[in-house]
Structure 1
């Protein structure tokens, strides 16, 4: 019965409902906050625990401080974010993407335009075929006009 998925689903639903009710109850929140404060005070009364927490705070704080420090780190972080958001776009086309975005093109339109420029993509091949057909049509029209 414990391993029955239906029983487990009902139990999980009841627990979620109960937790949601507790989160909405101001009296429960106040009791929980007070219990947390008291538990922290009891833990900090022990010198070993206090020192362990202090050391851990220094480690974490130092890591966070090192991460946040310096304009070169901020620039690197910005570059990483840009690369993640523009993973679909080759790096040499980032400037084109930026100018198209400033002109008001949406993401789908920018992708279509840029991928049509990138050699080796289906959009590029389609554009090359269309260009070739247009060149041949214009050449044929010129030959017809010059024939007379």
Structure 2
């Protein structure tokens, strides 16, 4: 048996990596490429499987409900300590309050709040609400009526077709006499 290259722990005879399990995991998790790949996989899973996301939320809520008041208080105090020791550091402040970070947060919030609205129609929706002062529900109905494939768009197409048919019929009646 030999020892781990990093910590010296005794290794089994079948070990081919030269590192113990703990050091191997530390080494893999320290790689930024691996962390990005893992993060992308998690985001993809959450995006394509709403049931999985809902189950995670339920599990977190259930876990919080099972905590004793002392544990909840300990978590609250830990959050306060994090704010004081980490979040108030100048480097973290510079990163989180930079114009790029603020713009990214704004885009992310818009994508969440206006997820029903196609990205190319969001500016039009904002113009309807802000400049035209149309209530949000009416503005949403207007935008949805213009987006192909929605029930509102289908109703609008049917109504347009019916109006065209009625006008054609009235023209025909007027031209007969």
Both structures adopt the same fold (TM-score exceeding 0.5): yes
Once the two structures are superposed, residues 15-66 of structure 1 have per-residue CA deviations (whole angstroms, 9 ceiling, x without a partner) of x9xxxxxxxxxxxxxxxxxxxxxxxxxxxxxxxxxxxx9xx93588367335
Q: Distance in 1 between matches of 2:101 and 2:150?
A: 34
Q: Distance in 1 between matches of 2:101 and 2:166?
A: 55
Q: Distance in 2 between matches of 1:91 and 1:124?
A: 17
- How many residues align? The count is 98
Larger Rg: 1
| 1:145 and 2:174 are equivalent in the alignment | yes
Q: Is the 8 A contact 2:145 2:152 kept in 1?
A: yes
**CA separation of 1:58 and 1:125: change in aligned 2, threshold 3 A:** closer
Higher relative contact order (CA 8 A, sep 6+): 1
- Tell me which residue corresponds to 2:150: 121
Q: Following superposition of structure 1 onto structure 2, how do residues 37-48 of structure 1 map, counting pairs within 5 Å?
A: none
Question: Secondary structure in 1 aligned to 2:89?
Answer: helix
CA RMSD of aligned residues (A): 3.0
Runs of 4+ in 1 over 4 A off after TM superposition: none
Structure 2 unpaired stretches of 5+? 1-68, 70-80
* More helix as a share of residues: 1
Once the two structures are superposed, residues 88-132 of structure 1 have per-residue CA deviations (whole angstroms, 9 ceiling, x without a partner) of 111111121111102221221111111111100111101100000
Which TM-score applies when normalising by structure 2? 0.47
- Tell me which residue corresponds to 1:64: 92
Q: Distance in 1 between matches of 2:125 and 2:86?
A: 43
